[in-house]
């Protein structure tokens, strides 16, 4: 079983809709959770991070963490064509490295 699992997609949503991206992880000792966005041919860039259970909002992005269910999600409201990218979930344990999911490809249709 992989440390971090994501639905590879592709996920397609119409412009203006909410895109929901999901991630599960296996290590209950995981302490930090990150969402990266990666455009084709580019390097990953951080969108959101969350450490505590619940929701964290930043503009159009909301990260949700449920440690009991070992589940973290990213919601993108009012999706724009510029949001079309691959989204990587990363999970970290203090003093250790990150574990990355394989990514979910999102396409926002104008």
Partner 1 sequence: IAGITQAPTSQILAAGRRMTLRCTQDMRHNAMYWYRQDLGLGLRLIHYSNTAGTTGKGEVPDGYSVSRANTDDFPLTLASAVPSQTSVYFCASSDSPGVAEQFFGPGTRLTVL
Q: Which is nearer to partner 1, 37 or 75 (CB)?
A: 37
Calculate the CA 29 to chain-centre distance: 19
Of the pair 17, 107, the CB lying nearest partner 1 is at 107
CB 9 within 8 A of CB 105: yes
Q: How far is CA 108 from each of CA 14, 15, 83, 97, rounded to the nearest angstrom?
A: 5, 6, 7, 32
Nearest approach, Cβ of residue 17 and partner 1 (Å): 26
* SS3 call for 81: helix
Q: How far is the CB of 34 from partner 1 (least distance, A)?
A: 6
Nearer to partner 1, 51 or 66 (CB): 51
Q: Which x/- pattern, by CB under 8 A, does the window 28-67 give for partner 1?
A: ---xx-x-------xxxxx--x------------------
């Amino acid at each position: 079983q992989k440390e971090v699992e994501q639905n590879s997609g592709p996920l397609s949503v119409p412009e203006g809709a909410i895109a929901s991206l999901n991630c599960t992880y296996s290590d209950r000792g995981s302490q930090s959770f990150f969402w990266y966005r990666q455009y084709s041919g580019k390097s990953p860039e951080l969108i959101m991070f969350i450490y505590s259970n619940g929701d964290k909002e930043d503009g159009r992005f909301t990260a949700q963490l449920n440690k009991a269910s070992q589940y973290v999600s990213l919601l993108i409201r009012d999706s724009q064509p510029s949001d079309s990218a691959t989204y990587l979930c990363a999970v970290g344990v203090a003093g250790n490295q990150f574990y990355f999911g394989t990514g979910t490809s999102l396409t926002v249709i104008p």
